[in-house]
């Protein structure tokens, strides 16, 4: 039994007369201590997927169908107070921009201890000590002093470390990280990623890493889920997906990586762009951008097929020539 089992999850945004669907029934699971990555361009619905796990969708978004089964309980049906005991306690989140994630008018200490006190019956002093030790875990120098600092007194990288420390405070079983390094300097990105990998591995914490950066995912995660226009188009072991991508979209993503290109050459961009939520084409939603698309692709919505360890949603999966990698990612 998987720790987290997302089944046919659908999310929609009712906007006036029309309702936009952001997720068209996605399913995936996460085992204890496993690390998976959800990749895709912006607008693919990966952040929506992340936020819907904890039912933290921005208004007016809502889960319209499907289940989120966590420890044998469908948490998408919980009321606000029941959900509160899952959030930040059993499942934590790390947000994209550390500059915006911490409340500017409260001290680091307040923002840490309140999380502990919300979930455990402990004294202020105990909460403080746990917080300090977690700050030490994320390599923050002189954590005792930092407790009384305000967010603006820390650098972006430091702030993201604090956010990671907050996510780890209650020893959760899953951390959902939404683009945790995108807003940081390139030099700091690798540091933070390495830190997250180490902490998750050491504490046996499951990680759902949302990112558009395939390079990051390939280094940190064991399994990859590729999303396009609110659907999962490919899923498999990281090595398999990276070395032998089946879906034309995944191939496009890998080919577009700078590592896959010879120096000085033009980047291999995927032509066109992700469709808006109200303009998703009929059939396979990738068809306008796909080199292999034919009439059938404009009619039928492809389902995920293939062996359990590596599935892809493409009608012509067998017709597509074998992938030639230049080996940039491996």
Partner 1 sequence: MDYLYFAIKRLLQAVLVMLVISLIGFSIQDNLGDPLRELVGQSVSENEREAMRDRMGLNDPFLTQYGRFMYKAVQGDLGNSYFFKKPALEVIAAKFPATLELVIGATLLIIFFAVPLGVYCAINPKGWFSKFIMAFSIVGISVPVFLTAIFLIYVFAVELGWMPSFGRGDTSDLLGWNSGFLTVDGLVHLVLPSISLASIMMPLFIRLIRSEMMEILEMDYIKFAWAKGLVPVRVWFLHAFKNTLLPVITVGGVQVGTMLAYTILTESVFQWPGMGFLFLEAVNRVDTPLIIAYIIVVGLIFVVTNTFVDLLYTWVNPTVKLVGSR
Q: Which residues bind partner 1 (CB under 8 A)?
A: 54, 56, 58, 80, 84-89, 92-93, 95-97, 100-107, 114-115, 118-119, 150, 152, 163, 166
Do residues 235 and 49 touch, judged by C-beta distance below 8 A? no
Encoding tokens for residue 13? 């945004």
The structure tokens 């947000």 sit at 95
Task: Select 97 or 191, whichever has its Cβ closest to partner 1.
Answer: 97
DSSP secondary structure code for residue 298 in this structure: G
Judging by DSSP bridges, how do beta strands 18-30 and 73-74 pair with one another?
unpaired
Q: Evaluate whether 89 touches 169 at the Cβ level (below 8 Å).
A: no
Residue 112 has which token pair?
């840490």
Q: Which helix (H) or strand (E) holds 223?
A: strand 223-228
Paired tokens of 311: 């599935």
The SS3 assignment for 100 reads helix
Closest to partner 1 by CB, 24 vs 46, is 46
Q: Which residues touch 108 (CB under 8 Å, ≥6 apart)?
A: 102, 135, 146, 147, 148, 149, 150, 151, 154, 162
CB of 269 to partner 1, least distance (A): 30
Residue found by looking up tokens 């990281």 in the block: 238
181 torsion bin: left (phi>0), alpha (psi -120 to 50), beta (else):
alpha
In the bound complex, what is the minimum distance in angstroms from residue 250's beta carbon to partner 1? 30
Query: Which H, E and C letters describe 65-89, residue by residue?
Result: EEEEEECCEEHHHCCHHHHHCCECC
Q: Residue 114 Cβ, how far from partner 1 at the closest point, in Å?
A: 6
> In what helix (H) or strand (E) does residue 20 lie, and over which residues does it extend?
strand 18-30
Place of tokens 């390939």: 218
Distance in angstroms (rounded) separating the CA atoms of residues 201 and 169: 16
């Amino acid at each position: 039994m998987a720790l987290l089992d997302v089944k046919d999850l659908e999310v929609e945004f009712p906007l006036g007369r029309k309702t936009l669907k952001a997720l068209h029934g996605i399913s995936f699971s996460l085992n204890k201590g496993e690390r998976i990555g959800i990749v895709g361009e912006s607008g693919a619905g990966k952040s929506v997927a992340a936020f819907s796990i904890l039912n933290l969708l921005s208004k007016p978004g809502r889960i319209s169908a499907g289940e989120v089964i966590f420890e044998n309980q469908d948490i998408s049906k919980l009321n606000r107070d029941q959900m509160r005991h899952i959030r930040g306690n059993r499942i934590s989140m790390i947000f994209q921009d550390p500059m915006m994630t911490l409340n500017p008018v409260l001290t680091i200490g307040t923002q840490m201890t309140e999380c502990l006190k919300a979930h455990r019956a402990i004294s202020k002093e105990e909460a403080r000590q746990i917080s300090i030790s977690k700050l030490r875990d994320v390599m923050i120098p002189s954590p005792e002093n930092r407790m009384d600092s305000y967010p603006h007194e820390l650098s972006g990288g430091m702030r993201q470390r604090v956010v990671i420390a907050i996510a780890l405070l209650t020893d959760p079983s899953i951390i959902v990280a939404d683009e945790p390094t995108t807003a940081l300097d390139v030099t700091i990105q690798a540091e933070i990623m390495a830190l997250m990998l180490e902490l998750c591995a050491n504490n046996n914490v499951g990680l759902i890493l949302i990112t558009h950066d395939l390079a990051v995912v390939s280094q940190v995660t064991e399994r990859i889920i590729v999303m396009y226009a609110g659907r999962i188009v490919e899923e498999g072991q990281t090595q398999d997906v990276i070395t032998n991508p089946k879906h034309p979209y995944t191939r496009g993503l890998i080919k577009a990586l700078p590592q896959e290109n010879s120096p000085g050459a033009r980047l291999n961009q995927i032509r066109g762009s992700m469709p808006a939520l109200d303009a998703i084409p009929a059939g396979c939603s990738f068809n306008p951008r796909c080199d292999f698309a034919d009439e059938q692709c404009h009619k039928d919505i492809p389902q995920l097929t293939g062996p359990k360890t590596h599935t892809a949603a493409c009608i012509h999966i067998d017709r597509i020539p074998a992938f030639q990698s230049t080996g940039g990612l491996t």
